[in-house]
Amino acid sequence: MKGPLVEVLVIEDDLVLGRSLQKGLQESEHNCVWTRSGLEGLTQAGACRFDVIVLDLNLPDLSGLEVLRSLRKQGVNTPVVILSALGSVDERVAGLEAGADDYLVKPFAFSELIARLSAVTRRSIARQSQTLTVGPLTLDLSMRRASRDGQEFDLTPTEFSLLEFLMRNAGQVVTRRMLCEHLWESDWEGVTNVIEVHITRLRGKMDRGFEEQLLHTVRGRGYVLRVPGT
């Protein structure tokens, strides 16, 4: 896995394989925590931040599927790559349905494991980048959902695009012209009062029911999305 250092948790009870994986990952310049226990793996995954988990299915205390289901139930969304000697279609499906991101059948080439870990890590980063957060505001770009303090509010496509631009420029004044050019992707030569209409509607949805206003008008300049205390 070339690129940034990756934090890997390996849950594998086989002594020889576990040591080999830890040594190989460390030689690839990644941090690796290795445990032979499913229960200890659950504890480690919940207490520390890992970029990816390598999980054996045949563990002595809990099965790998039990570990995986417990992780997902606890809200741990770290990518998981299953290692197993069981490679039938049904067994692969069971692993993926339990929440695994990939499934690698033993025996395997270490280079293939590295490639799989790299792929699931990249996908995880891509998913994370689909969410914008500014203070109490969260914008899920993939699901097209907006919320404040966990309370969702509905936006039209134009309002959603408007809020995305404001969040990406939080704390900075953006002019009406900048907003027009963002929304319609061209130089804006017309009147800008249409922006005021959209801003008013957006503010009404986003700030309704809250004491603190987040979207402010800067007279003669434009608008700014500002989190209280900043």
- CATH code assigned at 208: 1.10.10.10
pTM of the model: 0.58
What's the rounded Cα separation, in Å, for the pair 163 and 165? 5
Averaged pLDDT score across all residues of the chain: 86
Domain boundary among 94, 128, 162: 128
Q: Are 12 and 116 within one domain?
A: yes
- CATH code assigned at 24: 3.40.50.2300
pLDDT at 147: 94
pLDDT at 52: 93
pLDDT at 2: 46
Q: Are 185 and 216 within one domain?
A: yes
When pLDDT is averaged across residues 11-17 and rounded to a whole number, the result is 96
Task: Please give the residue range of the domain that contains residue 74.
Answer: 7-128
Domain count within the chain: 2
pLDDT at 184: 66
Question: Does the pLDDT of residue 183 top 80, yes or no?
Answer: no
Question: Does the pLDDT of residue 32 top 50, yes or no?
Answer: yes
Q: Are 63 and 157 within one domain?
A: no
Domain boundary among 110, 128, 146: 128
pLDDT at 17: 96
Domain boundary among 74, 95, 128: 128
pLDDT at 148: 94
* Residue 1 vs residue 60, higher pLDDT: 60
pLDDT at 94: 85
Residue 87 burial by Cβ neighbours in a 10 Å radius (0-12, 13-18, 19+): exposed
Q: Are 37 and 121 within one domain?
A: yes
Question: Does the pLDDT of residue 82 top 90, yes or no?
Answer: yes
Query: Looking at the domain assignment, is residue 2 inside a domain?
Result: no
User: What b/e string do you get for 9-40 counting C-beta neighbours within 10 Å, with b at 16 or more?
Assistant: bbbbbeeebbeebbeebeebebebbbbbbbbe
What's the rounded Cα separation, in Å, for the pair 12 and 184? 54
Query: Looking at the domain assignment, is residue 230 inside a domain?
Result: no
